[in-house]
């Protein structure tokens, strides 16, 4: 596989006056249609309509998967104005706007795998004995004829580079010589974002298809407040508060990234809070190095060299998307996607009772499966509960550490470290079970937050729960030799 992309940019910084600075630039991005070596061409398809795939068909061999677009010009502009130049009370106003393009080929790399035409085919053999006979062991043929029972990956022939518009405005106030306070508004609008649909049997000639389109959108707005104290007299601090709202039609481009936002025929039906939409979050880090007392040698050796570190994290609850695992395919072309339930009128969404972990659970009586086809059992429509409509649990954790350094020589030091994670042993619960067909556990949290993050990391590179936020109190001791 060959992926080629090119970016060219130019930028300048213009100090219009002692108080006013202008930054401006422009970027041009090219993401060429991917190609393959060894005389193999990526599969390309003719025109298709995501709402009607009955005419989906292979394009002639050698056709590019999509046409390279050349109009991806991205201007950027930033401005900074000093309202006050007093060294101890400086005030600065900043603002910026920019256009940012992403790669159109990224989802192709995520979706290609063995067995996908034209790079491979899969054969199944059941029973028999080893060694296999020559006919059974022969590699399966790789041909377009196999697509009737195989898997096709292709892109919209008119696929374009996804892009986002980003803007911000910030006011920063110095509070004396060592401290500052900053308030910012951040906005972003993602358009033409990549989203892949997996469709079972779109027509009699294709067994299944993964189709990448530019159909997804995303919007983000946030107020960010930050206090910073630079290291002075042994004290250093950084505290940040964010109030934000992220809305999208899909929080993962790959169809298997999260079936909660897998593409269906009506992409707008998935528009709702992002999977990572945290409305309020606060974090703070404070370190303090205690001064060595001016007492005798014994007092200095006992009380000198101590330092304290604190990290505090507090956030509101992330969203949870309910689904029915007994119902999965929907729509006339059998789109691969979770099916959300219908809402039962008059029933509360939450139960607040002490027998539930965290004192809260989702109400099973508030949700029911949408109507299904009496013959096939397939859902006739998506449920009327919106995507990511419910919220799980917030989180709070205070990590604390104490360090002590012992100097044995000008170049040899030993540091003792005692570090305590979740110092208060505050219980943080993972998201409740979202599958309404799980009659015994639906709506209840069955894991601590740290363990749930370990098992549900979409990137596949999850940490052990020991290194995640949300676990029980843990303490570690260490000695560090510096020489």
Question: pLDDT tens digit string along 208-262?
Answer: 888 888 888 999 999 999 999 999 989 999 999 999 999 998 888 776 656 555 6
Q: What is the pLDDT of residue 367?
A: 97
Tell whether the model's pLDDT for residue 187 goes beyond 90. yes
Higher pLDDT pick, 463 / 138: 138
Query: pTM of the full predicted structure?
Result: 0.87
Return the CA Rg of the chain.
29
d(C-alpha 249, C-alpha 271), whole Å: 4
- Report the pLDDT averaged over residues 291-305: 71
Buried b (16+ CB within 10 A) or exposed e, 130-140: eeeeeeeeeee
Q: What is the pLDDT of residue 111?
A: 66
116: enclosing H helix or E strand: none
Nearest to 179 by CA among 242, 233, 125, 243: 233
Q: How confident is the model at residue 301 (pLDDT cuts 50, 70, 90)?
A: low
Residue-wise pLDDT for 420-469, tens only, equals 999 999 999 999 999 999 999 999 999 999 888 876 555 445 667 677 88
- Separation between Cα atoms, residue 425 and residue 420, nearest integer Å: 10
- Residue 266: the pLDDT is 67
pLDDT band, very low/low/confident/very high, at 207 (cuts 50, 70, 90): confident
Comparing 13-17, 132-136, 225-229, 330-334, which segment has the lowest mean pLDDT?
Answer: 330-334
390-422 pLDDT per residue, tens: 998 999 999 999 999 887 777 888 889 999 999
Provide mean pLDDT across the span 114-130: 76
Average pLDDT over residues 309-326: 94
User: In the chain, where are the structural domains located?
Assistant: 110-482
């Amino acid at each position: 596989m060959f992926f080629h992309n090119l970016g060219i940019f130019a930028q300048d910084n213009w100090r219009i006056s002692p108080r006013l600075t202008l930054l401006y630039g422009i970027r041009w991005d090219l993401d060429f249609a991917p190609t393959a070596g060894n005389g193999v061409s990526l599969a390309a398809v003719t025109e298709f309509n995501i709402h009607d795939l009955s005419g989906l068909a292979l394009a002639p061999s050698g056709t590019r998967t999509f046409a390279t677009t050349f109009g991806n010009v991205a201007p950027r502009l930033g401005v900074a104005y000093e309202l006050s130049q007093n060294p101890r009370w400086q005030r600065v106003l900043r603002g910026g706007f920019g256009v940012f393009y992403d790669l159109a080929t990224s989802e192709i790399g995520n979706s290609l795998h063995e067995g996908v035409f034209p790079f491979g085919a899969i054969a199944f053999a059941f029973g028999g004995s080893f060694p296999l006979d020559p006919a059974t062991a022969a590699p399966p043929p790789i041909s377009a004829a196999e697509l009737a029972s195989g898997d096709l990956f292709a892109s919209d022939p008119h696929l374009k580079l996804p892009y986002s518009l980003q803007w911000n405005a910030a006011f920063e106030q110095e509070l004396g010589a060592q401290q500052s306070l900053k308030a910012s508004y951040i906005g972003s609008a993602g358009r033409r974002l990549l989203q892949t649909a997996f469709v079972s049997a779109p027509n009699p000639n294709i067994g299944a298809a993964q189709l990448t389109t530019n159909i997804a959108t995303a919007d983000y707005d946030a107020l960010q407040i930050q206090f910073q104290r630079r290291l002075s007299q042994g004290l250093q601090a950084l505290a940040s508060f964010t109030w934000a709202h992220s809305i999208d039609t899909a929080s993962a481009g790959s169809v298997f990234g999260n079936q909660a936002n897998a593409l269906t025929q009506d992409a707008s039906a998935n528009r709702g809070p992002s999977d990572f939409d945290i409305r309020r979050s606060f974090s703070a880090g404070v370190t303090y190095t205690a001064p060595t007392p001016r007492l005798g040698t014994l007092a200095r050796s006992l009380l000198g060299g101590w330092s304290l570190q604190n990290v505090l994290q507090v956030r509101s609850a992330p969203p949870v998307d309910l689904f029915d695992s007994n119902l999965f395919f929907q729509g006339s072309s059998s789109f691969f996607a979770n099916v959300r339930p219908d809402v039962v009128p008059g029933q509360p969404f939450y139960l607040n009772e002490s027998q539930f972990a965290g004192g809260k659970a989702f109400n099973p009586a508030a949700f029911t499966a949408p109507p299904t086809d009496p013959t096939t059992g397939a859902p006739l429509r998506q449920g009327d509960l919106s995507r990511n409509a419910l919220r799980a649990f917030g989180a709070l954790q205070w990590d604390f550490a104490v360090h002590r350094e012992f100097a044995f020589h000008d170049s040899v030091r030993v540091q003792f470290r005692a570090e305590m994670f979740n110092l208060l042993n505050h219980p943080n619960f993972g998201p409740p079970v979202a599958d309404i067909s799980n009659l015994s556990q639906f709506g209840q949290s069955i894991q601590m937050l740290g363990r749930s993050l370990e098992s549900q990391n979409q990137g596949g590179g999850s940490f052990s729960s020991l290194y995640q936020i949300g676990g029980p109190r843990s303490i570690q001791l260490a000695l560090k030799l510096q020489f």
